[in-house]
Amino acid sequence: MPGQAGSRSIRAALRPVRVGTRRAACGQTRGRVSRAVVLEEPRRFREQAFPLPQVGDEEFLLRVELVSVCGGDPIEYEGRNRKAHYPLILGHEVVGRIDAIGDAAARRHRVEPGSRVVVEPYIACRVCDRCTAGNYQFCREGMVYGVTIPSTRLPHLWGAYAEYLYGAPGARIHLIDDSVPREAACLTSVIANGVRWVRTRGRARVGEAVLIMGAGAQALASVIVAKEAGLRPIVVAARARHRNKLELASRFGADVVVDTTSPDALAQILEALAGLDLPLAVDATGAEEMIALAISALGPSGRLVLAGTRGGLPASLDIDGIVFKEIDVVGGLGQAHDTELAATIVNGRRFAIEEMMSLTLPLGQADEAIHRVIEGRDGAIRIALDPAR
């Protein structure tokens, strides 16, 4: 079976390389270690040191420059993601520099030691039926940096809450210009989510209106992509609890920002459309009331992209509204195939993406960073961890 073949292939490929002829070309790793913050079990971090692996022909080693706390990291922290396996090194929104790389990997990725890159979360086995069909985000191995691979699996460094990240043969990387602030660079995968939800899954067309639900990092990324794609008007609907998020949405290109706590929020959205039907809505919240508002605002044959997750909790939908208006409802998982375009946006520097990074803490304060995200302190949009501090 394709899935079984993929399992054998990836297990063979990921065995740590102990001998070979490529170590001198790739850089010496023998005797060096990486500090990492390990989530040993839900709600309990512990710092550990792991030996750096010697990279094989199709592997690489990334020295982490900065990693941001994804909105999904608290779900793993609290033990609410059934795909997570502990002990776990969190972290997949990362930028860094290639420290060592095998010859085949250098040719395939067109990089060399010292290259500044971002790494996609998904690791493809490249042989299962889903990978060969182009859907590597659904690879049957289910390997995702910072989410599904325990740190007990060699070579340990499967998450970016560490000084180094191991680059597996099926990893995908993208070049980032040295001029890009690290706070913007590590959010490339977040921008890629916006690309996937607005352009790929949402099938946006130039000149269309779009409604974006929420004002967190994922919603703001969607605003950036909508602006880059020539959508208009761009309407953002969110709670006005933290004005900094709404102001940033406007600076990134939102034409109208609606406070969803207002009793006439729907009327404000419809007014912004100037009598035209709303063709596209992207929900980045997962909140029932926000999804209901989006369904009410969409016109006939509208498209609704659901990108917000709920940590396994069920949600009710206005089925009648979906049926009567023949709304297309699609899920938006993540950035598969869309990160290269996102890197182009980030490298282009048209948007001050780094303004989404509210705070940077030392790696050892991962627990503090996670709790700031969970509690929503001070209207923080994204918090980063710096392994060098």
| In-domain check, residue 211 | yes
Instruction: Report the pLDDT value the prediction gives residue 29, as an integer from 0 to 100.
Output: 74
For residue 21, pLDDT over 80 is answered with no
- Coil vs helix vs strand at 260: coil
More confident residue, 4 or 245: 245
- Coil vs helix vs strand at 243: helix
Q: How confident is the model at residue 312 (pLDDT cuts 50, 70, 90)?
A: confident
Per the prediction, the chain carries an average pLDDT of: 92
For residue 75, pLDDT over 60 is answered with yes
For residue 124, pLDDT over 50 is answered with yes
| Sign, CA torsion 73/40/168/135 | negative
85 and 152 together in one domain: yes
| In-domain check, residue 7 | yes
Instruction: Report the pLDDT value the prediction gives residue 5, as an integer from 0 to 100.
Output: 37
175 and 196 together in one domain: no
263 and 243 together in one domain: yes
| In-domain check, residue 206 | yes
| In-domain check, residue 336 | no
Q: At what angle do helices 188-195 and 339-348 cross, to 10 degrees?
A: 120
195 and 316 together in one domain: yes
258 and 113 together in one domain: no
Instruction: Report the pLDDT value the prediction gives residue 327, as an integer from 0 to 100.
Output: 98
Neighbouring-strand partners of residue 386 = 362
For residue 9, pLDDT over 70 is answered with no
For residue 301, pLDDT over 80 is answered with yes
167 and 274 together in one domain: no
Residue 275: other Cβ atoms inside 10 A: 6
Total domain count, the chain: 2
CATH number of the domain enclosing 24: 3.90.180.10
Q: Which residue has the tokens 């998904």?
A: 122
The pTM of the full predicted model, rounded to 2 decimals, is 0.90
| In-domain check, residue 366 | yes
For residue 76, pLDDT over 80 is answered with yes
129 and 260 together in one domain: no
* Nearest one of 122, 243, 228 to 174, comparing CA atoms: 122
Alpha-carbon distances of 94 from 4, 244, 386, rounded to whole Å: 31, 24, 10
Q: How confident is the model at residue 1 (pLDDT cuts 50, 70, 90)?
A: very low
Specify the length of the chain in residues. 389
The amino acid at residue 325 is K
Tokens of 228: 């880059």
Residues of the chain with pLDDT > 90, as a percent, come to 86
| In-domain check, residue 340 | no
164 and 223 together in one domain: no
Neighbouring-strand partners of residue 368 = none
| In-domain check, residue 343 | no
41 and 147 together in one domain: yes
Instruction: Report the pLDDT value the prediction gives residue 296, as an integer from 0 to 100.
Output: 98
- Separation between Cα atoms, residue 205 and residue 157, nearest integer Å: 41
| In-domain check, residue 94 | yes
276 and 166 together in one domain: no
Q: Give the CB-side neighbour count of residue 167, counting CA atoms within 13 A.
A: 35
Q: Which of 331, 361, 377 marks a domain boundary?
A: 331
CATH number of the domain enclosing 256: 3.40.50.720
Q: Are 86 and 40 in contact (CB under 8 A)?
A: yes
Measured at the alpha carbon of residue 166, what is the angle toward residues 84 and 8, in degrees to the nearest 5? 70
Alpha-carbon distances of 109 from 116, 118, 128, 166, rounded to whole Å: 12, 12, 21, 15
Alpha-carbon distances of 338 from 82, 157, 192, 232, rounded to whole Å: 26, 25, 5, 22
Range of the domain at 274: 190-331
Measured at the alpha carbon of residue 159, what is the angle toward residues 215 and 34, in degrees to the nearest 5? 130
Tokens of 294: 């989006």
Instruction: Report the pLDDT value the prediction gives residue 230, as an integer from 0 to 100.
Output: 97
Instruction: Report the pLDDT value the prediction gives residue 302, as an integer from 0 to 100.
Output: 98
223 and 104 together in one domain: no
Instruction: Report the pLDDT value the prediction gives residue 287, as an integer from 0 to 100.
Output: 95
Q: At what angle do helices 217-228 and 339-348 cross, to 10 degrees?
A: 80
* Nearest one of 244, 270, 285 to 378, comparing CA atoms: 244
pLDDT per position as a tens digit, 325-340: 999 999 999 888 999 9
167 and 56 together in one domain: yes
* Nearest one of 385, 388, 389 to 159, comparing CA atoms: 385
Instruction: Report the pLDDT value the prediction gives residue 313, as an integer from 0 to 100.
Output: 82
pLDDT per position as a tens digit, 171-209: 999 999 999 999 999 999 999 999 999 999 999 999 999
- Separation between Cα atoms, residue 335 and residue 143, nearest integer Å: 15
Instruction: Report the pLDDT value the prediction gives residue 28, as an integer from 0 to 100.
Output: 62
Residues of the chain with pLDDT > 70, as a percent, come to 93
For residue 347, pLDDT over 90 is answered with yes
- Mean pLDDT value across residues 352-371: 97
Poorest-confidence range of 8-12, 194-198, 207-211, 350-354? 8-12
Instruction: Report the pLDDT value the prediction gives residue 10, as an integer from 0 to 100.
Output: 33
- Mean pLDDT value across residues 261-288: 97
